[in-house]
């Protein structure tokens, strides 16, 4: 099977980079996620609270309309010493190493650039196994993930973690997938420069279509369609995802604009060599 996107042909794979989120298959799965998800229902693989609820699918707030803008309610900050942020590192199906080793993951404060004093970890986590990371309420740092079989990853928080939250599973790009990305985009993707993957989401963490992204450090931009990059697109497709390759090593600001003209909250992230920088943007 072959796929043609952005002028390139990619053979032998069903997806390139998995940017989908799946929290649930039934309402019972949402109930099992904890107090932040009481009353949530499973819709399109995400736990969604009623509009009158205190939070969205990852405790971010229910969406509302005010002057035609998407407005998220801010949930109450937990009074517990620690809250859970839950996710799993994963490989794209077919890219798993023959003898996979666990990922080393630690939670780091924004100013701790080398994560010398993690707030949680390091811990070892097997691919595909969700892990509860205990972080202070209001945490808006990043997770540092390493494994010899993949690029490193910096997972930045697009909004503070105020309550127990289930995040998106983190796809760890392998060197082979980076080579395939070069083929799919018909461009040389240099791992010594930065790689960014971002997803635009509404208050309930549902991906947003029609969003235009900009990156202050530029780079090779592409949007995802069914987990494949397409350099010809000018806005997000149904998965709400964008990528930037060959980004100069530095900090960069990501901005995203809805079709209505409303801006999502901008984020400032870092890019490093041989590292994927991952983030979600919210209203």
Tens of pLDDT, residue by residue over 135-153, are: 999 999 999 999 999 999 9
Q: In the prediction, which pLDDT does 40 show?
A: 77
pLDDT attached to residue 73: 87
* More confident: 44 or 65: 44
Q: What is the pLDDT of residues 5-35, one digit of tens each?
A: 233 333 333 344 555 556 677 887 777 665 6
**What is the DSSP track for the chain?**
-EEEETTEEEES-S-SS-------SSHHHHHTT-GGGTT-EEETTEEE--TTSS--TTSS--EEEETTEEEEPPPPPP-SS-EEEEE-EE--TT---SS--PEEEEEE-TT-TT-SS-SEEEEEE-TT--EEEEE-TTB--EEEEE-TTS-EEEEE-SS-B-S-EE---EE---HHHHHHHHHHHTS---TTSEEEEEEEB-TTS-B-SSPEEEETT--EEEEEETTEEETT-SS--TT-EEEEEEEPSSEEEEEEE-TTSPBPPPEEEE--TTEEEEEEE--
Q: What is the mean pLDDT of the chain?
A: 83
Please tell me the predicted confidence (pLDDT) of residue 4.
Answer: 24
pTM value is 0.81
The predicted-structure confidence for 113-129, as pLDDT tens digits, reads as follows 999 999 999 999 999 99
């Amino acid at each position: 099977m072959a796929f043609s996107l952005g002028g390139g042909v990619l053979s032998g794979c069903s997806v390139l980079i998995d940017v989908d989120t799946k929290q649930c298959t039934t309402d019972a799965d949402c109930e099992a996620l904890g107090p932040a998800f009481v009353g949530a229902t499973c819709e399109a693989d995400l736990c969604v609270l009623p509009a009158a609820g205190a939070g969205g699918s990852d405790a971010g707030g229910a969406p509302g309309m005010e002057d035609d803008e998407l407005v998220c309610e801010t949930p109450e900050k937990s009074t517990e010493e620690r809250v859970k942020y839950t996710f799993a590192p994963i490989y794209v199906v077919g890219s798993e190493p023959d003898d996979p080793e666990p990922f080393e993951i630690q939670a780091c404060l924004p100013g701790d650039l080398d994560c010398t004093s993690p707030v949680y970890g390091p811990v070892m986590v097997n691919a595909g196994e969700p892990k509860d990371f205990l972080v202070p309420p209001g945490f808006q740092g990043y997770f540092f993930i390493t494994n010899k079989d993949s690029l490193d990853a910096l997972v930045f928080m697009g909004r503070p973690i105020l309550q127990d939250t289930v995040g998106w599973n983190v796809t760890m790009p392998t060197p082979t997938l980076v080579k395939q990305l070069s083929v799919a985009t018909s461009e040389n993707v240099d791992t010594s420069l930065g790689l960014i993957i971002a997803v635009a989401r509404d208050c309930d963490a549902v991906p947003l279509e029609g969003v235009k992204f900009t990156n202050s450090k530029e780079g090779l931009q592409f949007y995802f369609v069914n987990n494949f990059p397409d350099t010809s697109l000018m806005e997000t497709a149904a998965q709400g995802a964008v990528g930037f390759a060959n980004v100069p090593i530095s900090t960069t600001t990501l901005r995203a604009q809805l079709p209505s003209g409303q801006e999502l909250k901008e984020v400032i992230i870092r890019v490093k060599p041989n590292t994927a920088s991952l983030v979600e943007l919210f209203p």
